[in-house]
Structure 1
Amino acid sequence: MIVNGKHYRTIWPNPENRTEIIIVDQRKLPHLFVTETLRTVEDAITAIKEMHVRGAGLIGITAGYGIYLAALAAPDNCFDKCIKKNSTELGNSRPTARNLKWAVERVCRAMETVNTPEQKRKIAFQEANNIADEDVFFCRQIGKHGLEIIRKIRNQKKGKTVNILTHCNAGWLAFADYGSATAPIYAARDAGINIHVWVDETRPWNQGAKLTAWELQQEKIDNTLICDNTGGHLMQHGLVDLVIVGTDRTTHTGDVANKIGTYLKALAAYDNNIPFYVALPSSTIDWTLDNGMEIPIEQRTGEEITTITGMDNNNSISTISLAADGTQAANYSFDITPARLITGLITERGIVAAEKNAIHNLFPEGGQINRQEQGIS
């Protein structure tokens, strides 16, 4: 997407030295646009754990490049052993997003198709690039399919502005480019539809306030920042036409794990008869879990709740306390939205009901993966 008039992806190999992977350090946004160079698998793990990168798609891409960096450093005489160790460490760096282990497994499978360490390093780089490019393509397709939902609402409103509410950041910054929840918004803008976006601040990391609002501003899309508890009020007063969110993991039965607070937005949308859509590439689907309540929910440090970081009057980024010393805080990063509250899933292949048979019909190869992992012939 566009930053200060220039196109960027969130992650890319250094064109002058392909042993280096460059990322946008999202901790500094929106005040500073800073890039960081990853040179080792340990750098990739740190970037994922400490939220230099975040969002299901981007976590997966970073993990894919992390395996490539591990391959560059692995000695020839113990190559496979080293990769196995690094794969486990990368896969465990954050627990909820499906794309993380999916990307690690995909790059490792690609390396198994060749023999020598040098061939494995080459194919690891190719496959990591493929994951990034595929992510961009899938997000653009999500945008095309989601556009039809927005166009239908615009026609019902006789050309008036379509008001969309989104939670957290499922935009360009959560993927390689375009984003999932934002892709239909960008497509609608490009189609000449008047769009306004209600942006949840999304505590405690404030990905909405810091990232989504900034991203939409860069793209010159009308948006208004709201606190997390405002959405229900807006829906009751007819100020929301549509809710679109992303997902970090979706079961093959249609349950969705997304940033904490998503479930409450789904309940409010359901109560006010407002369409609630989840936008996702199929890499986010977990074909082994039947029940969303089985998805591991990451719990992060309570300091993310008791403190807040921003830019002070001296243009310095600083962290201040919000609560009294010694305050205990429980920091659940995600919640589960059950399929029954979801109007539909917007995928790269089209819009599908959040229901097992419909999902399997759209992605029959995914159902086969499920059968294989359960030992069913």
Structure 2
Amino acid sequence: MRHQSIWLADDGWGVEVIDQTGLPAQCQIRRVASVGEVLGAIVGGVVRGPGLISVLAGYGLALAARRDPDIVPVMTAWHALSATDPRCPRLRGVLDRMREVLDVTPPAERAHRAYMEADAIAAEELAGNLAIGRHAMGMLRRVGAGGGDGKPQTLLLAAEPGWLSSVGWGAASAGLFLAQEQVDLRRATGGVLGEDIAPPQVVTIGPLAAWEMVEAGIPHSPCDLDGALDLVRRGVVERLFVAAIRASARGDVLVPAGTGDLARAAKVAGAPLHVCLPAAAINWQALGPGTITAPGTDILPLSLITGFITDRGPVAAEADALLDRFPDHEPMSIGELPAANDA
């Protein structure tokens, strides 16, 4: 693993994160040691991205249990953390999972058990995005080979940022990082190990995505959203990788503002658009876009998506394709929905 954005401090209970507010000019580590500091880091933009925020929230409940293992203050922390983004399936999934564990754990063991569960959640977040990257590798090999003339295609990475917004692998950029590791390994061993992958020409949007590419040694061309849109419209970009904030069970995808314009331009230009989508980011009770929307974002309908790359492999951009690939996440019927006071 090249990078890490969140970890336990040397004392074994404090949590340390990379402060994204100082990047790309300065990389600083911020320590959070209370629920209040976790909330401040989320609201203040020290940590960004639903994956990283959800993992930090899990550790936030562990910090709450360490300070006072009684279930009342722990649940007070649960409510405060869930209020930061009530519609985020990843955040709600993590907090509900932590609550279920803490509910059945004796107070004397609650803090220790909370840290164990938060560690497991962080490891699963890491593994999920790494799996997406591995599934994307085959696609990148084809992209790197070009259209038969040997010239690498130009790929637009519409994700800002990548691994910084997760634990250590970004959903949309993990494939690029894995490909670069193969190139580095081949160079370091004189061609004995590693694959000879012809990397695509990568265009990134925003300073943090560019910083990540520089840190990994991945050749890229940075630009802003307007510049990326111009490249797509002119046909320079031949393929797009998009990171989803969240999605409905039928494949409507919530993305940062401006990504919708990129997707529509890609549709006109005939450039495939692939959404990198962890299962944890899917709201399995949402069968349409109405319950996943958020201010300052766009919704991508299935008509603009070529396909999904999930932690279980590629999925077609069809209404029930995600449900078919994840049968263990069948949506609840109306009668099974929790009561309002249980939500």
Common fold: TM-score over 0.5: yes
Which residue matches 1:223?
220
CA contact (8 A) 1:293 1:336 kept: no
Aligned counterpart for 2:199 among listed residues 194, 197, 207: 194
Partner of 2:6: 11
1:70 to 58, 64, 84: 64
Residues 297 and 194 of structure 1: CA distance in aligned 2, closer, same or farther (over 3 Å): same
Q: Which moved more, 1:30-39 or 1:189-198?
A: 189-198
- Provide the secondary structure at the position in 2 that maps to 1:371: coil
After TM superposition, the score normalised by the length of structure 1 is 0.81
Give, in whole Å, the separation in 2 of the partners of 1:69 and 1:372.
Answer: 36
Identity %: 29
Partner of 1:364: 327
The Cα shift of 1:352 comes to: 0.6
CA distance in 1, matches of 2:319, 2:12: 42
1:58 aligns with 2:52: yes
CA displacement at 1:351 relative to structure 2: 0.8
* Residue 22 of structure 1 pairs with residue 19 of structure 2: no
Q: What do residues 245-278 of structure 1 show as CA deviations (whole Å, max 9, x unaligned)?
A: 1111111110111111111111111111111011
Secondary structure of the residue aligned to 2:111 is helix
Regions of 4+ moved over 6 Å: none
CA–CA distance in structure 1, aligned partners of residues 110 and 123 of structure 2: 20
TM-align CA RMSD: 1.8
- Alignment partners' CA distance in 1, 2:215 and 2:29: 17
Q: Is the 8 A contact 2:254 2:293 kept in 1?
A: no
C-alpha displacement of 1:372: 6.2
State the 1:373 CA deviation: 7.0
Matched, 1:91 2:54: no
**Match of residue 167 from structure 1:** 158
| Aligned-pair CA distance for 1:70 | 1.1
- Contact 2:145–2:152 under 8 Å retained in 1: no
- Runs of 5+ consecutive residues of structure 1 not aligned to the other structure: 3-7, 201-207, 299-331
TM-score, normalization by structure 2: 0.89
**Matched residue of 2:336: which SS?**
coil
Could you say which residue in structure 1 is the equivalent of 2:268?
Answer: 271
Residue 237 of structure 1, CA deviation: 3.1
1:323-354 residue CA offsets vs partner (Å, 9 max, x unmatched): xxxxxxxxx2x211112211111111001123
Distance 2:6 2:126 in 1: 11
In the alignment, residue 67 of structure 2 is paired with which amino acid? Answer: A
Tell me how far apart the structure 1 counterparts of residues 236 and 178 of structure 2 sit (CA, whole Å): 21
Paired letter, 1:11: I
Unmatched 5+ stretches in structure 2 = 183-194, 338-343
Task: Tell me the CA shift for residue 174 of structure 1.
Answer: 0.9
1:284 aligns with 2:264: no
CA distance in 2, matches of 1:354, 1:84: 39
**SS in structure 2 at match of 1:86:** helix
How far apart, CA to CA, are the structure 2 residues paired with 1:218 and 1:170?
Answer: 13
Which amino acid letter does the alignment assign opposite residue 301 of structure 2? P
Residue in 2 that maps onto 1:348: 311
- Which residue in 2 is equivalent to 1:122? 112
Q: How does 1:150-161 map to 2 (within 5 A)?
A: 150-158=140-148, 159-161=150-152
Which residue, out of 238, 243, 247, partners 2:244?
A: 247
Q: 1:153 to 1:296 in 2, by over 3 A?
A: closer
Asked if 1 retains the 8 angstrom alpha-carbon contact of 2:125 and 2:166, the reply is: yes
Q: How many residues align?
A: 322
Q: Is the 8 Å Cα contact of residues 136 and 177 (structure 1) preserved in structure 2? A: yes
Deviations 1:174-226 (A, max 9, x none): 110121010121233324222222112xxxxxxx22x1000001111111122
Partner of 1:305: none
